[in-house]
Structure 1
Amino acid sequence: MRHRMKRNKLNRYASHRNALLRNLAKEIIEHSSIMTTTVKAKVGRQYIEKLIAKAIKAYKIKESNRAESVALRRQIFAELGDRRLVNKLVDEIAPKFVERNGGYLRVVKVGPRRGDGAEMAVLQLVSE
């Protein structure tokens, strides 16, 4: 049965797709805005918003439950593989979104790419 199998595979095998999403997440955390194709932006948004949700949870419970906060940081580290980016995500980016219930990223369509006509978009953190 194919229950709950709906996912855009981006015409890549699993390890390539995971590396792509990991790299998109690293660039968003580091630069807060990137230009990519619209399809990659939409798939990357789902991936990155889950990481931000974990970071917000880790930030909220930092004082009360230290062990769970460390566990969440380790889960984020398992996805990103860079401790500096994990600290930036939890300590700098997460506090901006504590009051927000999702929708941490926006996809703004830019138009076709000049070389091959692929639909391009800017994926950026929402800053209110």
Structure 2
Amino acid sequence: MAYRKLGRNSSNRKALFRSILTSFFKYGKIETTVTKAKEVAKHSAQLITLAKRNDLHARRQVMAVLVDETITKKLFEEIAPKYEGRQGGFTRIYRVGPRRGDAAEMAIIELI
């Protein structure tokens, strides 16, 4: 499986995505770089698909990724039921232009 390394080792990358995904499900949308947004879209689709199963094993798999237990509860009780009839395409990415300072291409990723 191909993925973006983002200039980090595996443990730093895992921690980064755990925190980004937790914030993403908490607020429903976040602003980040385009490459991180594309990776977050991929990971969040996997977590939403797990949450749609709504069994104990899926809940434990999601808890292994997300940092906060209340966010896991929100994912299973509020977010996943909205996408019950949808097979994919849970997120939308908007490009918002370069970041001031290092000119990194920024994007807003949100739940549809």
TM-score bin (small chain): over 0.9
Quote the Cα distance in structure 2 between the aligned partners of 1:90 and 1:18.
22
TM-score by length of 2: 0.96
1:21 aligns with 2:10: no
Bigger Rg, which one: 1
The equivalent position to 2:32 in structure 1, one of 27, 32, 36, is 36
Question: Per the alignment, in what secondary structure is the counterpart of residue 60 of structure 2?
Answer: helix
1:76 aligns with 2:62: yes
1:87 aligns with 2:70: no
Fraction of identical pairs, as percent: 41
Quote the Cα distance in structure 2 between the aligned partners of 1:114 and 1:82.
31
Equivalenced residues, count: 112
Deviation for aligned residue 1:118: 0.4
Deviation for aligned residue 1:81: 3.3
| Structure 2 gap ranges (5+) | none
1:96 aligns with 2:82: yes
User: RMSD of the alignment, in Å?
Assistant: 0.9
Quote the Cα distance in structure 1 between the aligned partners of 2:100 and 2:66.
31
Deviation for aligned residue 1:44: 1.2
| Structure 1 gap ranges (5+) | 59-68
Structure 1 residue ranges (4+ consecutive) displaced by more than 6 angstroms after TM superposition: none
**Aligned residue type for 2:10:** A
Quote the Cα distance in structure 2 between the aligned partners of 1:70 and 1:102.
22
**Aligned residue type for 1:75:** Q
Question: Per the alignment, in what secondary structure is the counterpart of residue 101 of structure 2?
Answer: coil
Partner of 1:54: 50
TM-score by length of 1: 0.84
Quote the Cα distance in structure 2 between the aligned partners of 1:81 and 1:119.
27
Quote the Cα distance in structure 2 between the aligned partners of 1:98 and 1:28.
19
Quote the Cα distance in structure 1 between the aligned partners of 2:19 and 2:93.
17
Deviation for aligned residue 1:22: 0.7
Deviation for aligned residue 1:36: 0.3
